[in-house]
Amino acid sequence: MDYEFTIIVPVYNEEDNLLRVEKELLKYSEIAKKKTKILFVNDGSKDASQDLIEDISNRHDNFTFISFAENRGLSAAIKAGFDHANTELVGYIDSDLQTAPEDFNLLLEHIGEYDLVTGVRANRKDSFVKNMSSTIANGIRRAFTKDGMDDTGCPLKVIKTDYAKRIPMFKGLHRFLPAMILLQNGKIIQVPVQHFPRVAGQAKFGVWNRLIGPLMDCFAYLWMKKKYINYSVAKKSE
């Protein structure tokens, strides 16, 4: 079966959410604008997540998985998904389902003209501290990257796979995906999407991760921008 779109689902200790993820992504695959497959990336979960992932993948042909030997972090999980994607388009969504899979169709409407389409969470249903720390972190990031994006932490994105595979990921760089597409002279856009409260499991990031961590990552991005190699092939032999 020729799939066109791979949705990466990073998983770390999300046993309470995975059956809901299965249900919602199955529903989405029936209405998706592109023939869609789902790729779980188990980031060294210590709970029953892997057993559930394997059960889900055995039940459905369009569900697959990668399982890390140990916890390596969200950026590593996303990179592994990029590395293993074999479709023209790749996207990702968090397994907490605070964003809606059906909103992928909103992003896919723009992917022909753009190389990355990211959601921006409207009416966020998070705590005051989480919202405020994210707002400050996004402001700091925009000042460094000039990417014009309001919410790069939104866990709903669609990227052309050839661009995604050229992103030199390092820990924390998942917050800079739009900026890394700009380094490739790609085009990016943000689109409002729905946002919901977390209904199960626990958030994996605290104030340090959302505020101090991104500030440190900005300096890593500036180093990457200075050293980044970008080229295009004008002609090659047959």
Give per-residue pLDDT as tens, 138-197. Answer: 666 666 666 767 677 788 999 999 999 998 877 777 788 998 899 899 999 999 998 776
- Domain ranges for the chain, please list them: 5-227
The pLDDT tens digits for 73-125 are: 999 999 999 999 999 999 999 998 989 999 999 999 999 999 999 998 876 55
Answering whether pTM is above 0.85, one says no
Paired tokens of 197: 């409260």
- 125-131 long-range CB contacts below 8 Å, 24 or more apart? 125/98, 125/195, 125/196, 125/197, 126/195, 126/197, 129/207, 130/203, 130/210
pLDDT, residue 127, reads 54
Query: Minimum mean pLDDT among 7-11, 40-44, 220-224, 233-237: which range?
Result: 220-224
CATH superfamily of 5-227: Spore Coat Polysaccharide Biosynthesis Protein SpsA; Chain A (3.90.550.10)
Distances (CA, A) of 86 to 81, 93, 234: 10, 18, 25
